[in-house]
Amino acid sequence: MRNRIRQQAYRALRCRDGSSATEFALLLPIMVFLFFGLVEASDAMTVSRKVTISGNTMADLTAQSTLITRDDLDNLLTGVVTILEPSNTATLQINIVSVVLDNGNPVVHWSHDNNGAAPYSAGAPFVGLDDNDVLDPNSSLIVVEINYPYTSSFSHFVIKGPINFGRTSVRWPRQVRRIQLCTDVALTNCTT
């Protein structure tokens, strides 16, 4: 029996009738699809993890402040965006919002985004919290909303369209009850 297996293996190795080429031709598209699929899925998972880290980092750094200026927020945003590099960050949207309670309802204390604008008006209702009970009437909550439509930079062989990675990170201020946003470095025009 052992000799018989050995003889068959030897014959298969010597065989040159084209069956190996046919098998290779049948398996090549599957192997190429698996290769590109694994590369693109790995890249997408890496970007998803970086989006989560970016949101958590921005929320954590903002929550460590006692008061913060718009320039400080812009500098923090610039640093946080580098976490996502070398991905194309042109479509990245980050909103930083301070949320407070007003008559038992969550409202925007102040907001800032990565374009330098205020995405939410001060005093506007804020509906981005899963649970409003986390708010204390005398304090604020820092909420960072990050949205990144990911498109594969390697190829579009398996992942055809953009995947939208959106995360929300929430932190309580660490040093004060409410972090104030100031519009100037002299700290003369601040929220209350």
Burial (Cβ within 10 Å: 0-12, 13-18, ≥19) of residue 26:
exposed
Q: What is the reported pLDDT for 57?
A: 92
User: What are the angstrom distances between the C-alpha of 4 and each of 7, 9, 11, 17, 155?
Assistant: 5, 9, 11, 21, 48
Q: What is the model's pTM? A: 0.78
- 144 bridge partner residues: 96, 169
Any domain includes 3: no
Total number of domains in the chain: 1
Is 163 a member of any domain?
A: yes
The answer to whether residues 95 and 144 touch, using CB atoms and an 8 Å cutoff, is yes
158, 36 Cβ separation under 8 angstroms: yes
191 lies in some domain: no
User: 188 in a domain, yes or no?
Assistant: no
Which pLDDT band holds residue 147 (cuts at 50, 70, 90)? very high
Q: pLDDT tens digits for 74-111?
A: 899 988 888 888 877 888 899 999 998 888 888 889 99
Domain that holds residue 70: 18-182
Nearest residue to 69 (alpha-carbon basis) of 101, 106, 100, 110: 110
Q: Where does residue 167 rank: exposed (0-12), middle (13-18), buried (19+ CB within 10 A)?
A: middle
pLDDT in tens, 118-140: 888 888 888 877 777 777 788 88
pLDDT score of 145: 93
Structural domain contains residue 6: no
Task: Reply yes or no on whether the pLDDT at 144 is more than 80.
Answer: yes
130 within domain boundaries: yes
Does 67 fall in a domain? Answer: yes
Q: Is residue 45 part of a domain?
A: yes
